[in-house]
Chains A and B, each alone.
Chain A
Amino acid sequence: MIHDIVMPQLGITMTEGFVLRWLKAAGDPIEKGEPLFIVQTDKVDMEVESTGKGFVTELLIAEEVTVPVGTVIARVGDSRVGNAIVKGPLVSPRARRVALELGVELAGLKGSGEYGRIREVDVRGVLASKPAAPSVSEDRSATVARRRIAERMEDSARTVPHFSLRREVDAGPLTLVRAELLPVVEAREGVRLSFSDFLLKALAVALREVPGMNAAWIADRVELRSQINVGFAAQSPTRLLVPVVTDVDKLTVSQLARRRAELAGKARDGKLTADEMQGASCTLSNLGAFGVDDFEAIINPPESCILAAGRIAQRPYVVDGQLVVRHTLRLTLTVDHRVADGVLAAKFLNAVAMAIEQPLLLLA
């Protein structure tokens, strides 16, 4: 029996997948559940397990090739014999013939055709261009990851109608509460409580108060969410990742801090799973630690919004007609206009602001 291996859908918005590497060659024995290939998304390199057992009879696409979800990319059969083909790139019959005529080695050649197929132009290109020694060595995986991020951001910027709301909030009480809780949480949970933890909690409170924003734009409609999940932008050495804290509303600030630290650690080590990076309605991007006053972020589809937080700094502030100096925080909420209109978004940002200005409510 021949079993088709297809490109799986690893996330709600995933419509195509990028095969970074094959882990088996044609002819290799394979068990059901054994890793067969690595799919790279903008977020994660994920080993995909074989859904069939026997022998890998065919690898139908080359490495570093993008195919639509559901495409048959390999076959697993009962016997090693038969149509087993050598692991390697796809080559058009014409390219194979021309390569033979010109004495060009096909191995290592990069194909420009569909599914990475090597075409005549690629074979002739080898002769046309004298290979120059690469001046900069680069991590291939990192380059590929950058490409994935580029695609995803391009897609979001192009297809999501973004609008942004700005608000400066009084962060004085928050700095005091955080300073007070810092040693307590450090002693109890062994993690350093950050402003991000309060901001995540504030977003959760706001999502509960304004449920219209606890939503995502999926398949041309607004999908409301019942769980309150919030993502946060985390930088790994090679890429930007957005781990998601689930059920933020049910966590205490210290539990949240522990979970956030755990996910950030996994992001750094490249250990996040696809499940740990989906299901959020909004994302927090906090660049406060880098001295940024305020900025606008690009939405992480299919989420409804993204909150960009700058640094908490002493700034001139007017209270009851008096100019005073306060610790303030500048927030920029960027919203998908397909999911929400200005008023709803403003109510949401207001709820976030209220929660930050009265941080004790976050602990209630």
Chain B
Amino acid sequence: MPEERNIQYVEASVEALQEEMRRDSSIFYIGQGIGQRGGNFKQSKGLWEEFGDRRVRDMPISELGQVGMGVGAAMAGARPVVDIVFLDMIMEAMGQIVEQAATIHYTSNGKFKVPLVVRAAMGSARCTGPHHSRCFYSWFAHIPGLKVVLPSSAADVKGLMKTAIRDDGPVIFIEHKFFYNKKGPVPTGEYAIPFGVANVCRKGKDVTILAMSLMVWHALEAAERLQKEGISVEVIDPRTIVPFDEQTLLESVRKTGRLLIVDEAQQFCGFSAEAAAVVSSKAFDSLDAPVSRLGALHTPHPFNPVLEAAMLPSVDGIVAEVRRLVAS
């Protein structure tokens, strides 16, 4: 067993940046409030003190400009990490991300690489309404040329951040606000987690749940409750949705015959539809029940806590849906 420490998710992410920045001087970090302030979520705490203004720099409120600079610097040989802070604001930078960062490698016939990490935090945490709750990851998954990372644990955020920084293409690295203060075991010493390798968080035999980010924890809690009823649930976290580890999911469904996909983003046209399609076409003869999905309702996030809870997948909802799936 490698040695472990119990540290916060946000601390693990800072460790990854710190270790990588020490290792490679071409890495710099820009964003709003990530300098002296140490980040809205403390997601850059201590970095400005160690690396100074030259490598850790606050930006004006212009996501388009930030990402544009990042793309240019990456093309010129740097390895920038651009922090959008709230994922919702990434909409301002979409042109740079989609048309430039994701595409230049192809349109330049491979002459340019864009080793850029765009970092942001998503999700519902405390009823912060439509402009601070969204989960846009499937938007980026749709764009060829982008990798999309959704770490769900302290150990994963560190290991995946390192891989993201070392990747020679643009990576959209989406953390969950709810996690930042959560502690978890993180290995001591150097490690990186490769992209496209799903994590089987819990072994089971009756139903497979595919869940991303915070939904992994909801799924694990639901699985724990269902275990008491004699329903054995396997929980799979893909960790990266581009690249997507189809094999781990397909193997699981071949075993269980039933799949529930839990997605915090709006269900309609979301990643859950992609995963469902993969399973329906590649593991059709293994399905003992139709693939089921739980996702957010097709509505903007309300401020009202009761309404917000009603629009998002919950542990109770997962438990009920698994029961239904097992019965049908």
Which DSSP category, helix, strand, loop or mixed, fits chain A's interface?
helix
Please choose the segment from A7-15, A111-119, A140-148, A288-296 that sits at the chain B interface, where 4 or more of its residues have CB less than 8 A away: A111-119
Cβ of A190 within 8 Å of any chain B Cβ, yes or no, is no
| Interface size, chain A (Cβ < 8 Å) | 12
**Contacts of A117 on B, CB cut-off 8 Å?**
289, 328
Bound CA span A119–B256, Å: 12
**Contacts of A113 on B, CB cut-off 8 Å?**
288-289, 327-328
* CB atoms of B328 and A94 under 8 A apart: no
Contact count A vs B, C-beta below 8 Å: 32
Contact of A120 among B257, B327, B328 (CB under 8 A): B257
Cβ of A97 within 8 Å of any chain B Cβ, yes or no, is yes
Bound CA span A64–B80, Å: 64
**Minimum C-beta distance from A111 to chain B (A):** 10
Cβ of B18 within 8 Å of any chain A Cβ, yes or no, is no
* CB atoms of A93 and B284 under 8 A apart: yes
**Contacts of B327 on A, CB cut-off 8 Å?**
113-114
Cβ of A96 within 8 Å of any chain B Cβ, yes or no, is yes
Which residue of A is nearest B325, CB measured? Answer: A114
- Within B279-306, which residues are at the interface with A (CB < 8 Å)? 284-289
Bound CA span A358–B327, Å: 58
Bound CA span A97–B254, Å: 12
**Contacts of A114 on B, CB cut-off 8 Å?**
289, 327-328
**Contacts of B289 on A, CB cut-off 8 Å?**
92, 113-114, 117, 119
Cβ of A351 within 8 Å of any chain B Cβ, yes or no, is no
**Minimum C-beta distance from B52 to chain A (A):** 60
| Interface footprint category on B | under 10
Bound CA span A35–B192, Å: 67
Which DSSP category, helix, strand, loop or mixed, fits chain B's interface?
loop
Bound CA span A266–B327, Å: 40
Cβ of A299 within 8 Å of any chain B Cβ, yes or no, is no
Interface string of A100-114 (1 = CB under 8 A from B): 000000000000011
Bound CA span A94–B208, Å: 15
**Minimum C-beta distance from B93 to chain A (A):** 43
Given contact pairs A114-B328, A117-B328, A96 touches B288 in the complex (Cβ within 8 A): no
Which residue of B is nearest A119, CB measured? Answer: B288
**Contacts of A119 on B, CB cut-off 8 Å?**
288-289
**Contacts of A245 on B, CB cut-off 8 Å?**
none
**Contacts of A96 on B, CB cut-off 8 Å?**
285
Bound CA span A114–B323, Å: 12
**Contacts of B257 on A, CB cut-off 8 Å?**
92, 94, 120
* CB atoms of A93 and B328 under 8 A apart: no
Cβ of A308 within 8 Å of any chain B Cβ, yes or no, is no
- Within A204-234, which residues are at the interface with B (CB < 8 Å)? none
- Within A327-364, which residues are at the interface with B (CB < 8 Å)? none
Cβ of A19 within 8 Å of any chain B Cβ, yes or no, is no
**Contacts of A92 on B, CB cut-off 8 Å?**
257, 287-289
- Within A115-129, which residues are at the interface with B (CB < 8 Å)? 117, 119-121
Bound CA span A347–B289, Å: 55
**Contacts of B287 on A, CB cut-off 8 Å?**
92-94
**Minimum C-beta distance from B66 to chain A (A):** 49
**Minimum C-beta distance from A104 to chain B (A):** 15
Cβ of A280 within 8 Å of any chain B Cβ, yes or no, is no
* CB atoms of B288 and A120 under 8 A apart: yes
Which residue of A is nearest B253, CB measured? Answer: A94
Which residue of B is nearest A121, CB measured? Answer: B288
Interface string of B303-328 (1 = CB under 8 A from A): 00000000000000000000000011
Known: A93-B285, A94-B288. 11 other contacts (CB 8 A): A92-B289, A93-B288, A94-B285, A94-B287, A95-B288, A96-B285, A113-B328, A114-B328, A119-B289, A120-B257, A121-B288
List the 8 shortest-distance A-B pairs measured between CB atoms, nearest first.
A114-B328, A94-B288, A97-B285, A92-B288, A120-B288, A94-B257, A93-B285, A93-B284
Interface residues of B (CB under 8 A from A): 257, 284-289, 327-328
Can you name 28 A-B pairs with beta carbons within 8 Å? Answer: A92-B257, A92-B287, A92-B288, A92-B289, A93-B284, A93-B285, A93-B286, A93-B288, A94-B257, A94-B285, A94-B286, A94-B287, A94-B288, A95-B288, A96-B285, A97-B285, A97-B286, A113-B288, A113-B289, A113-B328, A114-B327, A114-B328, A117-B328, A119-B288, A119-B289, A120-B257, A120-B288, A121-B288
